[in-house]
Every structure is written in structure tokens, then in C-alpha cells.
Amino acid sequence: MGEALPRVLAILVRAHDQPGVLHDLTEVIYRHNANISYVDITDRQDGEASTYFELEGVADPSSLIRDLSELEVVISTEEMPSFWKIFGKRIIVVGGGAQVGQVVLGAVSEADRHNIRGERISIDTIPLVGEKELAAAVRAVGRLPRAKALVLAGSLMGGEITEAVREVREKGIAVVSLNMAGSVPDEADLVVSDPVQAGVMTVMHVASTAKFDIRRQKGKRY
């Protein structure tokens, strides 16, 4: 089985979309001594909006949900399965469309094998061109919740992208690069020539049901 899931209470609050609503919701959460580990506001339409919370340290979930539901601005409150439980750890694949597709082929095939055994690993992609665009995408990975690894799939990457790779690695995100021209491969944790194999090896690193540590391969090329 996969590693133990974080103990969180995930709730979805449907409320009127107006100033001060988030303050009202978080005040109730504060009174229950709960810590907000993740929050997202979605589905804004017809004067209403949904706010999704993942909370830690909730001693009495039923009481918290009841207190939120009693707020005048709240329309409905519902306990949900957490994003970690549904989608789990995330691998992000960025680069040229053809190479991205091949990396995803390997990553999805390998993730399926581990997810059947109890893991939760999801694969996200975006095909991009341009140094500034790619550097911005790499840096954004450091702000994504549950992101554990980044695969850079392309033919030439360097310059500002390399600096962005350094930044996300400092945040604990593993970086795999295809064997390409430019300085990015020199900064990555692992360099793999075959894009399908790059996807497979990245999933093996992220999965707790596998014994493979990319960082122990630093400086090696396959």
C-alpha cells in the first residue's frame, strides 16, 4: 500500500459571493483551533461561490461543519474526500508537445501499476515553447500543491530555465530532464534519453511502493 495519507478534514462550503465571506469562514475555523493547509475558491456564478478547505487538527468535525452551516452567508457545507486522497502526489511534465506525450505515456503506465497497489499519483502536463514561458512554468511548479517531481521534455533548454530548475529543486521538487542541448540537463537530478523511460523512472521515484531515489542518481545519464 502507499504511504499514509495526511490526516485532514476536507470541506466544500457554498456561500454568497460577496466581500468578507472568507473572513467569516476562517473565523469559525480559527475558533475550532484548526489549521488551514489548503484553500481554493471555485465555481463562481450567479452570485455564489464554492470555497474548498483542507484542515488539520480538527478535534470535532461535526461541530465545525455545523458552525459553518449556521453562518448567514453560507448556503451549504459538505465534507469531501481530500485532493490528496483522490489525486495524490503530482508529477508535472513541461516542454515540447511530442516529447511531453512520450513522457506521459511512460508515466501514466507506471503510475497505473502503483495506483492499483494503493498509491495515488497523478500526471499533469503543459506543452510550451519559449525560454520565458518555460521558465515561468517551471517556477510555478514550486507553487503547485502536492507537486513532487518535474520532468522537462524538449530538445533545447537553458538560460533562465536552468535558473528556474535550481529554484524548484531547492524547494524539494525532483527534476528529471531529457538528454537535450542546453544547460538544463547539467542542473537536473536525473537525465534520461528515452522519454518513455523518463516518465517511468520519475513515477518510480515518487511512488512509496517502489525503491528508487532519483537523487542518488545525480550526475548520471541514461
Measured in residues, the chain has a length of: 222
Is residue 219 over pLDDT 70? no
Residue 208 pLDDT more than 90? no
Q: Flag whether pLDDT at 1 surpasses 60.
A: no
Q: Mean pLDDT for the chain?
A: 93
User: φ and ψ at 42, to 5 degrees?
Assistant: -135, 175
**Prediction pTM value:** 0.86
Q: What are phi and psi of 215, to 5 degrees?
A: -65, -20
CA distances from 182 to 19, 156, 187, 214 (A): 48, 5, 10, 21
Q: How confident is the model at residue 4, as a pLDDT?
A: 53
Cα angle value 216/177/188 (rounded, 5°): 50
- For residues 176 and 189, the answer to whether their CB atoms sit within 8 Å is yes
When pLDDT is averaged across residues 98-122 and rounded to a whole number, the result is: 95
Mean pLDDT of 176-204: 95
Cβ neighbours around 55 below 10 Å, total = 20
What share of the chain in percent tops pLDDT 70? 95
